[in-house]
Amino acid sequence: MGFNRVHRTAVILFFGLSAFYLSLSPSSIAGQGYTGEEINSGLRMLAVVNAWVKGRPIPPMVWSRHGPIPVLFDLPFIKLGKIFVSPDFVLSFQPVLLTAALLTVLYVWLRKLCSPGMSLLLTLTGAFGTMLWPYAYISLETKQSLFLLLAGYLALGAEDRRSWSRLLLLAVTCGLAVSLKANGIVLFPVLAYLLYVQFRGDWRSRRMQVLVAVCLIGFIWVVGALGRAYYWGPRGGGFSVLRSWFVDSPFYIFSNLVGIFGSPTKGLFVYAPVLLVAVYAIPRAFRTHRQTVVFALLVTCCTLGLLCSLRTFADEVWGSRYMHVTICPLLLCIGAARPGFNRRRDIPLFALATLGLLISFLGAFYYYGVQDFAAARAAQNTTEWLTGDTVWNHIDFNARLFRVWLKGGTVPALWTPRHYWVWRPPPGAQEWKSMDLRDFCQPQSFMVRFWHVPKNGVVLKIFRMYVTSLLLGLVFLAWAVVRTLMEDRSPPVGEFVAVAGDAGNP
């Protein structure tokens, strides 16, 4: 594989994914989880800097739950948003770009493990057949997932491991991976393994590099932890709040473990079906690309360690969002086990990718909070109902909305989230409330919402931008596919078996 050729295709793929994702953007992000907090924190950061530069009284800082480090990545978008339209609008570009960058890193890493065709197939499957597509608009997990995968690539997939520049980049990336979210502390075993691989065999001669890397990672994490303390301190401390969510019976640790993967309402295999192939791919990939598989398993196990100890391992957001970080590492295992494309063998992969495409489309087409709005109207908006009740299955609910939307919403679409009592209802049982699904079936995409609506001024300009983005996205993605078909000459499997010593001991 030529370095320039691979990376040119990766750049084309990045622009294609970015433009296509952007075309279906809701044009707003403040309502996505805690992003509104981070926008307010970022605006206050800019106000503090402006007041300090101009010698004015400095206003009190506004802190967000994950500290100041993730907000620093928001500042360029927020600042630009104060000039064009709004900070909320411009910041909605960020998760799109981060998700496209995450998939670009995945593609470049896969090119070291498998053929061009298989690399692109797995990358596009991850892009449109897993939770990554909805989270290009939801955000929340994209920063951590990007920097963790990038840290893994720098330590395991890249060459020139001894240079100071590569070491500093790796250390900063590792530090950000565990500092961008409060739950990043559980990923420290992953970083320990990456550093072990980086310095294995010659750590004595590179003691200074080891010390610098550890200190830099620790410094970034401490800064993030201190920043989070300003938010959680007045609330009794972050651990104190988390402790109230811990399970009170060890049995739930096992049931959560099964549910995280197989729950019909929140299971990872439901919202990213292609990862079922990883279950069969991991043993074979372990024999040829052991370091990559160990990295993927560590990311998965560390995340599971936290989620299994909680009373509910998911929330009202699309799928099991905390497992977002595991999707790309597990896709790497599939690529490592299947270095070449085989039409007959890969029929299940195609089928699961197609199923994932349908599911992820429903997650990207609607704002995840619509389900919560409907549950509140039905007086059923408890965490347990939204995360474990098949009546409120998020995929099925969005499919109902999509069918109503396709019909044009011209006739009432009454739906009753009905539950069935065991044999007979208890005395005083509540009546199940009905609702008109037309009240909830509006797509979140700005372009789709305004397609048949008269437009002028800023609205018309934004609409044209999204339509242009859709066309450019399709052109760039088609270009990436054509380049890959031209590059894919079905090389021998041995060409992809061992990369950068990956087949060695862990």
Kindly report, residue by residue over 287-315, the tens digit of the pLDDT.
999 999 999 999 999 999 999 998 888 88
Does residue 457 lie within any of the structural domains?
Answer: no
| pLDDT (0 to 100) of residue 502 | 64
Strands (E), 18-169: none
Residue 120 lies in a domain: yes
Question: Among residues 409, 442, 475, which one ends one of the domains?
Answer: 442
pLDDT tens-place string over residues 175-231: 999 999 988 999 999 999 999 988 887 777 778 888 999 999 999 999 999 999 888
Per residue in 130-148, is it b (16+ CB within 10 Å) or e — as a string?
bbbbbbbbbbbbbbbbbbb
What average pLDDT does the chain have? 89
Residue 46 resides in a domain: no
Apex CA 105: angle with CA 103 and CA 107, to 5°? 70
Between 163 and 474, the more confident residue is: 474
Per-residue model confidence (pLDDT) at position 160: 66
Whether residue 165 is found in the same domain as residue 273: yes
Instruction: Indicate whether 125 and 223 sit together in one domain.
Output: yes
Are the beta carbons of 440 and 415 closer than 8 angstroms?
Answer: no
- With beta carbons less than 8 A apart as the criterion, state whether 182 and 238 touch: yes
Give the domain extent around 434. 367-419+430-442
Using pLDDT thresholds of 50, 70 and 90, give the confidence band for residue 2.
Answer: very low
Model confidence at 506: pLDDT above 90: no
**Are 214 and 193 within one domain?**
yes
Torsion sign, CA atoms 207, 212, 217, 223: positive
Q: pTM of the entire structure?
A: 0.92
Mean pLDDT of all residues in 13-23:
96
Rg from Cα positions in the chain: 24
pLDDT digits (tens, 9 = 90+) for 29-48: 998 989 999 999 999 999 99
| Same domain? 227 vs 155 | yes
Q: Got the DSSP string for 322-337? A: GGGGGHHHHHHHHHHH
CB 120 within 8 A of CB 37: no
Domain contains 351: yes
State which of 319, 345, 363 marks the end of a domain.
363
Phi, psi (rounded to 5 degrees) for 436: -95, 115
Its sign, for the CA torsion 319, 322, 324, 330, is negative
Same domain, 134 and 262: yes
Domain assignment present for residue 466? The answer is no
User: Are both 313 and 392 inside the same structural domain?
Assistant: no
Question: Phi first, then psi: what are they for 466, rounded to 5°?
Answer: -70, -40
Domain presence at residue 98: no
Specify the pLDDT at position 489.
61
Overall domain count for the chain: 2
Is 398 exposed, middle or buried (CB count within 10 Å of its CB: 0-12, 13-18, 19+)?
buried
Which tokens belong to 351?
Answer: 């089928």
Q: Is residue 487 part of a domain?
A: no
Q: Which residues contact 119 (CB under 8 A, 6 or more apart)?
A: 107, 110, 111, 113, 335, 484
Say yes or no: 171 and 294 in one domain: yes
pLDDT of residue 6: 86
Asked whether residue 379 falls in the same domain as residue 338, the answer is: no
The last residue of one of the domains, among 323, 343, 363, is 363
Shared domain for 238 and 373, answered yes or no, is no
Residue 506, in any domain of the structure: no
Q: How much is the average pLDDT of 348-375?
A: 94
Same domain assignment for residues 331 and 374: no
Whether 339 and 374 map to the same domain: the answer is: no
Local structure of residue 200 (DSSP, 8 states): T
Identify whether residues 210 and 316 lie together within a single domain: yes
Token reading at 185: 């502390």
**Are 38 and 65 within 8 A, CB to CB?**
no
